[in-house]
Amino acid sequence: MALIGIIFGAFLCLYLVHYVKRYFWDYRDMKGPSVFLSVPIIGHAWALSPNPHKTLEDLKTTYGNLFRFDIGPYPSLVVAGLEEFQEMCRMDVFNGRFFGILPAVQTVFGTDSRGEVFGVSASNGQTWAEQRKFMHQNLNVAGMGKKSTLENIINQEAEIAAERMASGAKNGPVCIKKFFPVAINNIVWRMITGNTSSQDDPLMLYLTDRMNRHFESLSPSNITAILQQYFHRFTNILDKLNMPTCFKDLYIIREFLDNEFKKIDPDPNGLYVAKFKAEIQAAASNPQSSFHETDGEFHLSGHAVDLFVAAPPQTRRD
């Protein structure tokens, strides 16, 4: 019994030494809030205000364009200057994705046969290179870079949103929050599928509601959301208790998009989704490709989620 106590005490001491070295000593010269204010598990997140961007702006004023501010249990570097950001992007050490150490992401979404999370935003290595190349090349086909195509879609959706707001205003004050997100999602939907949906379409309303719920649950000042991102068991417990989880709505969106994309046929000359499905067909004999069979289908819905999430979240929330 005494031996077990000695072993446990030695293990605890070694862990404390490792923790102090990793979180304090190795980063002792880095500018930012005191490392002693970085709380285990949540880091400096407790110091964020209800408007996190304002907190970070104040820290930039105090510490400059590079400073430490831990979000969760890992030391984090905030890059707040354009020149520093451009220099960082040219460095190989920053080419990876942080999601490799966020267990909740893999728990909620699963991974492909290479262990990569879906799409472009969360994948690494060869998978990231292949998926990014496709997105980069084919956003032009979807409308990005073609002023007339994209501008027409935006103008049409803006006119419809304005008409809906004017109609609602006849009965008194209107809340614009419910008009812009669905218009934005409709623009993305038309870009990638070519299908035109009404802003009152149940499909668009359902998708928009889920997106809004996702953004509301993912506030960096939400300690529960931070715990879920780093500790998948905590996410599982909340899920079993039917309580909100920060990525559950995004998972539901992905399943929803999977079902919708089954209605679209592959077409190498079509828009984004049709062309992606044609790429899956072309990779049928190449198991090394991230477009191969079920991996390709997995990443297709990931691309769509990436594009919907990339639409201005601040517009969705405010």
pLDDT score for 318: 46
pLDDT score for 46: 79
| Distance (Å) of CA 312 to CA 53, 79, 189, 315 | 15, 20, 15, 5
Q: Phi and psi (nearest 5°) for 75?
A: -60, 130
Which three-class secondary structure string do you get for the chain?
Answer: CHHHHHHHHHHHHHHHHHHHHHHHHCCCCCCCCCHHHCECCCECHHHCCCCHHHHHHHHHHHHCCEEECCECCCCCEEECCHHHHHHHHCCHHHCCCHHHHCHHHHHHHCCCCCCCCCCCCCCCHHHHHHHHHHHHHHHHHHCCCCHHHHHHHHHHHHHHHHHHHHHHHCCCCCCHHHCHHHHHHHHHHHHHHCCCCCCCCHHHHHHHHHHHHHHHHCCCCCHHHHHHHHCHHHHHHHHHCCCCCCCHHHHHHHHHHHHHHCCCCCCCCCCHHHHHHHHHHHCCCCCCCCCCHHHHHHHHHHHHHHHHHHCCHHHHHC
Tokens 């404390």 appear where? 16
Q: Which residues of the chain have pLDDT under 50?
A: 100, 313-318
pLDDT score for 21: 66
Q: What is the torsion angle, in degrees rounded to the nearest 10, for the CA atoms of residue 154, residue 160, residue 163 and residue 167?
A: -140
Domain ranges of the chain: 2-95, 125-317
pLDDT score for 48: 80
Give the pair of three-digit tokens for residue 193. 């599928």
pLDDT score for 50: 77
Contact of 228 with 247, CB cutoff 8 Å: yes
Q: Phi and psi (nearest 5°) for 90?
A: -90, 0
Biggest CA–CA distance in the chain, Å, is: 79
Its CATH class, for the domain covering 125-317, is: mainly alpha
CA–CA dist 86, 47 (Å, integer): 28
Comparing C-alpha atoms, which of 180, 258, 175, 181 is closest to residue 214? 181
pLDDT score for 221: 59
Give the predicted TM-score (pTM) of the model: 0.68
